[in-house]
Structure formats: C-alpha cells, structure tokens
Amino acid sequence: MLNEDNSKKLRELMRILERKLGVLGKNEGSSGKLTLAQCHAVVEIGRAERISLNELSEVLNLDNSTMSRTINNLVNADIVIRETDVKDRRYVVIKLTDSGCRIFKEIEQNMKKYFEKVYELIPKEKVNQVIESLEILNDAIREKF
C-alpha cells in the first residue's frame, strides 16, 4: 500500500538532491565551461573512450536528437570529434579531443574531491546504509523507466 506522506517526502528529497547535483555539475564539475548535459556527455565519452551516439543516448537516457545537438555543440567547441569506424563506415564513434580529455580529467578530479568531502560528512556507521539505499533507489528507478 502506498504511503502518500512517504511518497511525497521521497519526491521532495529527490527534487532537492537533483537540484543540488545540477548545480554541482555546472560549478564544481567543469568550472562553468559546460552545461550539465554536456558535462554528463563528456564524462561518459571519457569513461568509454569511444562511444556511438546511440549508445551515449541510451546511457544518458536522452533521445537521439537531443544527444545529437549536445554532441554538435561539443564538436564546435573542439571538445569531441566524430570518427567513422574503419570496419563499418556507417558506424560513427565519438571520442574526446585533447582539450576534451583535459576537461574530462578536470571534471573527474573535481567530482572526486567533492564526493570525498560528502563521504567524510556521512557518519561511518551509516556509509553502507547510504550506499545500499542509493542502489535500491537506482534499481527502482531503472525498473520503472
């Protein structure tokens, strides 16, 4: 049975968390150089090293047209490049430029520092509980959507 008060509280906490992490992406993540969507794209491309537009759209849960516009802006800013796969010329991969790699490393380093600080503020006896709760929440969201 749905507990409306808890459902409402979950919604409110998620809204606040989403807003805080959105600000984080713009300010802590990329020193204001990228939008939040671009920041997420750079991180995923950097972690994958090479990724197709379709794969990136799927990972970020965005439609292809939105992802394509984001990538176009990153190409224009010399942060990513599109490369035709040598084995299948219909397959285009996206990868970071040297400038994009520097931005990726900056984002990763800033996120590492930020979340180390957050981690330190969680009571030691609650760390596993927080991680388990976030895993459950992610699984529930993934299951729904």
Q: Tell me the CATH number at 126.
A: 1.10.10.10
Residue 114 lies in a domain: yes
Q: Does residue 50 lie within any of the structural domains?
A: yes
The encoded tokens of residue 145 equal: 């959507």
Question: CB under 8 Å to 97, separation ≥6 — which residues?
Answer: 78, 79, 80, 81
- Judge whether 122 lies within some domain: yes
- Is the residue at 3 inside a domain? no
DSSP count for the chain of H helices, then E strands: 6, 3
For residue 68, being part of any structural domain is answered with yes
Domains contained in the chain, number? 1
Return the pLDDT at 25. Answer: 59
Whether residue 3 has pLDDT greater than 80: no
Per-residue pLDDT, 79:
96
CB count within 10 Å of CB 70 equals: 23
Tell me which residue range forms the domain holding 117: 8-144
- How many residues are recorded in the chain? 145
- Whether the CB-CB separation of 60 and 35 falls below 8 Å is answered with no
Q: Which residue has the tokens 């729904």?
A: 144
2 part of a folded domain: no
pLDDT digits (tens, 9 = 90+) for 71-114: 999 999 999 999 987 888 888 899 999 999 999 999 999 889 98
> Is residue 91 domain-resident?
yes
What are 45-62's pLDDT values in tens digits? 999 999 999 999 999 989
Contact (Cβ atoms closer than 8 angstroms) between residue 110 and residue 29? yes
Residue that is written with structure tokens 């965005």 in the block? 62
Residue 1 lies inside a defined structural domain of this protein:
no
pTM: 0.82
